[in-house]
Structure 1
Amino acid sequence: MTTTLEFASFATEIDYDDLSPDVRDALKRRVLDAVGIGIAAADAGPPNAVADTVADLEDNGPCALWRRGRGASPVQAAMHNTALVRYLDYMDSFLAPGETPHPSDNVGAVVAAAEYADRSGKELLAGLAVAYEIQAELAWNAPVRDRGFDHVTHTVISAAAGVSNVLGLDEAAARNAIAIAGTAHNALRVTRTGEINEWKGIASANAARNAVYSAMLAKNGMAGPRNLFEGQKGWQSVISGPFEVDLSPGERVHDVMTKRYVAETYAQSAVEGIIEVAEREDLAATDVAGIKLQTFGGAKLIIGGGEGNRYEVRNRAEADHSLPYMLAAALIDRDLSLAQYEPDRIRRDDVQELLRIVDVSENPDLTERFEAGEMPAVIDVTMDDGTTYRVEKDAFLGHPAEPIGWDALEEKLDAVTGDSLSPDGRETLLETIRSLEEHDVSDLTALLA
């Protein structure tokens, strides 16, 4: 049975020298993906609500609020910057049979704590390795979705561990930080069921904030339940059930996927497939009689109607968790990016009519293949004249089986940031992240401020 001490020991023992060159490179690519998405989200409504709330609470502070031109405490910076990374639903994901969290939810917290502690880029990478590893191991070995808890229940623990690392906490203090975080902040799955609203995109920011606050309390001597995981009525008893982890120096980062499309994780292969067939056959939406998607259990559950009606789509939060909407919009527009989530696009008759003839079903064989590491999808598009076009996918570009490298990530950065970065600013940001071990964290945050 995994113990709280096991996580605390791991969090405090890992440093930059423990990371392989491949892990270092992968973590830097995760940073680039996260900050690019964060820059793109700066004008969105819910992140602006977070920014306004931070401004109400604090005049200034030592940690940059990305794109705001001012600072805040590490706690509030973690909340704000994580909201930017997460809100557009374009962040990375870790694929496990019973859970699909977003490890980049840790980036805002670890960066803020590292900036506060005046750490180097090397130290930041070590803290991120800790957070990514623990997030992935919890998702794989201790899924909580079917027990009614949201995946950010894992994030508050992984982020607290990563933050403990960059703050330089000793084992006892890290144990307290993890214990406080995991005892007090377990989020409910209702966030992503039924009628979805904008809290879906902010819940992980709340977890990041709570993680940093827990670590700061521990830094200043606050004790938490030392047996969080293994204790009577503790986390394993109440939240997850018994589990074991096998922690490595950040190697789990290689199992993280990059989203090619602005869509919920489980939709990526299906969206890629329907765009392929629409382009190949030059399909017109007005000639489509029906769309049938065979998918795996998790996709059917979360975005195919198992946890609520996915045919009533009125806003962004509902659209990016609706397979019917995503497939309809992708077929019509041959794309699924930020433009497909503008309110006028969501409400337009063409997509609203087409989404209602999208049928989503679970195929047990595809569920088995998903649990073995694929992300399969079988799509049949039937036309008014009876012709049916089929496309089958095992994975998508960005899946760990087909990883995205630096060049494609730079293209994604350009696509999402547009004119938000000057040419010189773009090149400086890229150079800083590519050579993060040669910089201080403050060099990075100055570019984001």
Structure 2
Amino acid sequence: MDLSQILADNAVSRRFEDLSAATVDATTEAMIDSLACAVAGLHAPGIPEARDAFQRWGTSGCAVWGGFGHAPAPFAALLNASAMHALDYDDTDDKVPLHANGIVLPVLLADVEENHPDCDGKEFLTALAVGIDGAMRVGRAGGPKASRGWNYSVISGGIGAVLAVARLRHWDAKTTCDALGHQLAQTSGSLQSIIDGSLAKRFQPAMVVKNVLVATAMAQAGIDGPRNIFDGKAGFINLYQDGKFDREFVSKDMAGCALVDDLSLKPYPACRFTHAPIDLALELHQRGLRMADVKHLRIRVSGQAVNMVGRKFDCRTANVVDAQFSIAYTAALGLERGVLKIADFSEEAIRDERIGAFAAEKITIEAGESLPFLGMVPVYFEAELVNGSRVDIETTTVCGSPEKRMTENQFRAKLTDCLAYGNSAITTDVLLATVRALKNGAPVKSVNAMLATAGKAAVVETEVALA
């Protein structure tokens, strides 16, 4: 039996009652976080241009979030997913890493709008948990192969999204496997857009969102897909995992979708590999240190962190993606200002010559030989101060992870910053209440109605928002 059969059987048989209260809460809070990130990204570089470019393929179908009209479901979902991922502020599974909600959530909300207008919140949260858990399960079973250039949000996220749609549509396992096969047939996931600092990076997960809706349409039409999706000669395990894959992990304790509980929500609008260094930079700030006090800052991180976010930062030539993927830039910001906001990653902000000079001349980033190559932690700071003294600090946890959750105040501050940056009149309280009502069975159309006008100067009150 191909592993896809096990995943499909599990996905289509899940019920809301199978989920623990903790998993329901984790699914809901991650959804709130993701939607706030989407509102914040509505006007990010590349997103308005994409909206204009895609109009040629139609202006009816599903809502393009923010009050930007409608588009055929695959393209509306693509645009919505692009906004969600644009600022690199959306959730991660730190152990892979991958962004699960950025693919699963836009697919499900588009499918609800197009095919299930009366879907209730419990059904939706069950499907969402199935999809997130599935993406994380496959990602962790294989382990990241970023050294070969694969983007795991793209590779594993598409599998999770197909499983989520299958659960929402109450498919049988055969149709689900066909859709998984179609998804495999069109999956790719190069990390080159990150390496080159290209805006294409923020569209990669979104392209998978479009492809998932195409794959599920073909499967529902009865078009068969590849059968040996995981175990075939050119299946997922051989193609993406070099034949190394923990099959037992995939099938262990599947019923509760509990991997969702292990999802991390980001406190800072930058690549997750910058977060532990930012935590330490903020600690130095809290101790009263500023850039002027530091003669040299040596930062030791994992080899993968150096690959992803350890490159030299030049404020004269850097673009927004370069800044989002720079330990040097983000650590300099944290040290000097004690806070990182979305506005710190605008084209104008990243030209700050003081921050840029410190990042380029005073910070050295090295791979620790004894550190796990793929680890986000531990991270070590060795700060040589102008006064001749030295400060050494380290961290083995990352803020926003299950071991170090954001406080309620930190979470609300993130939501408020996102909504304000997206020029939205949605309040933090309305966002929280609208999504949390799903746990009690409120209709999902309340969420879609809120998002349809999310970027407008005034919010159209939805009857269910505060129900």
- 2:146 aligns with 145
Alpha-carbon shift at residue 162 of structure 1 (Å): 1.2
Cα 1:322–1:428, aligned 2, differ >3 Å: closer, same or farther?
closer
The aligned runs of 1:50-449 (5 Å cut-off) are: 50-61=50-61, 63-96=62-95, 99-105=96-102, 106-118=104-116, 119-142=119-142, 143-151=144-152, 152-193=154-195, 195-240=196-241, 241-243=243-245, 244=247, 245=250, 246=252, 247-283=254-290, 285-305=291-311, 314-356=318-360, 357-367=362-372, 375-404=377-406, 406-418=408-420, 420-422=423-425, 425-437=427-439, 438-449=441-452
Q: Say which is worse superposed, 48-57 or 83-92, in terms of deviation.
A: 48-57
- 1:11 equivalent in structure 2: 11
Tell me the CA shift for residue 362 of structure 1: 2.1
Matched, 1:30 2:23: no
Shift in Å at residue 418 of structure 1? 1.9
**Structure 1 299/400 Cα, relative in aligned 2: closer, same or farther at 3 Å?**
same
Contact 1:93 1:258 in 2 (8 A): yes
Distance across 2 between alignment mates of 1:377 and 1:144? 22
1:147–1:379: structure 2 CA closer, same or farther, 3 Å change rule?
same
Q: Give the match's secondary structure for 1:343.
A: coil
User: SS at the partner of 1:94?
Assistant: coil
Structure 1 counterpart of 2:149, which letter? Answer: G
Q: Distance in 2 between matches of 1:133 and 1:417?
A: 27
Per-residue CA shift, 1:56-84, capped at 9, x if unaligned? 211211x2211024223321222111111
Q: Look up the SS of the partner of 1:185 in the other structure.
A: coil
> CA, structure 1 residues 331+406, in 2 after alignment: closer, same or farther (shift >3 Å)?
closer
Identity across matched positions, percent: 22
**Matching residue of 2:461:** none
CA distance in 2, matches of 1:333, 1:429: 29
CA contact under 8 A between 1:277 and 1:390: conserved in structure 2?
no
For structure 1, which segment, 127-136 or 385-394, has the greater mean C-alpha deviation from structure 2 after superposition?
385-394
Residue type of the partner of 1:184? Answer: Q
List gaps (5 residues or longer) in structure 1.
Answer: none
State how far apart, in whole Å, the 2-side matches of 1:16 and 1:73 are: 30
Distance 1:15 1:116 in 2: 22
Instruction: Determine if contact 2:14/2:126 at 8 Å carries over to the other structure.
Output: yes
Separation (CA, whole Å) in 2 of partners of 1:57 and 1:249:
40
The structural deviation recorded for 1:429 is 2.7
Task: Tell me how far apart the structure 2 counterparts of residues 14 and 242 of structure 1 sit (CA, whole Å).
Answer: 28
* 8 Å contact from structure 1 (residues 310, 321) kept in 2: no
Asked whether the equivalents of residues 14 and 255 of structure 2 are also in contact (C-alpha less than 8 Å), the reply is no
DSSP-derived class of the 1:414 partner: helix
DSSP 3-state at the match of 2:67: coil
Cα distance in structure 2, aligned partners of 1:154 and 1:101:
8
Any idea what SS the aligned residue of 1:174 has? helix
**Cα distance in 2 between the residues matched to 1:10 and 1:355:** 48
Residues 1:426 and 1:337: Cα distance change in structure 2 (over 3 Å)? closer
Contact 1:114/1:167 (CA < 8 Å) preserved in 2? no
Following superposition, the deviation at residue 168 of structure 1 comes to 2.6
Are the equivalent residues in 1 in contact too, given 2:267–2:410 (CA < 8 A)? no
- Alpha carbons 2:107, 2:212 under 8 Å: kept: yes
The structure-2 alpha-carbon separation of the partners of 1:171 and 1:2, relative to structure 1 and needing over 3 Å to count, comes to: closer
Deviations 1:279-333 (A, max 9, x none): 31232x234321111122321221114xxx5557511111111111211222222
* Cα separation, partners in 2 of 1:11 and 1:406, compared to 1, 3 Å: farther
Q: Which moved more, 1:325-334 or 1:436-445?
A: 325-334
Aligned to 1:431, the other structure's residue is in SS state helix
Q: Which residue is 2:49 aligned to?
A: 49
Could you tell me which amino acid in structure 2 is paired with residue 336 of structure 1? L
Look up the equivalent residue of 1:219 and give its one-letter code.
Q
Aligned length: 437
- Contact residue 133 and residue 248 of structure 1 kept, 8 A: no
User: Which residue type is aligned with residue 112 of structure 1?
Assistant: A
1:93 is displaced (CA, Å) by 0.6
Flag the 1:74–1:144 CA change in 2: closer, same or farther, 3 A: farther
Deviations 1:27-51 (A, max 9, x none): 0001100011111111112121222
CA spacing shift, 1:73–1:15, aligned 2, 3 Å: farther
Shift of the alpha carbon at 1:444? Answer: 0.7
Distance of 1:310 and 1:140 partners within structure 2? 31
CA separation in 1, counterparts of 2:135 and 2:193? 19
SS in 2 for 1:392: strand
CA deviation after TM superposition for structure 1 residue 421, in Å: 4.1
Partners of 2:366 and 2:389 lie apart in 1 by 21
Residues 29 and 406 in structure 1, CA contact (< 8 A), matched pair in contact too? no
Structure 2: how far apart are the matches of 1:429 and 1:323?
A: 31
Q: Which is worse superposed, 390-399 or 85-94?
A: 390-399
| Corresponding letter in the other structure for 2:106 | G
Root mean square deviation of aligned Cα:
2.1
| Residue pair 2:281, 2:334 contacting (<8 A) in 1 also | yes
How far apart are the structure 2 equivalents of 1:337 and 1:248? Answer: 38
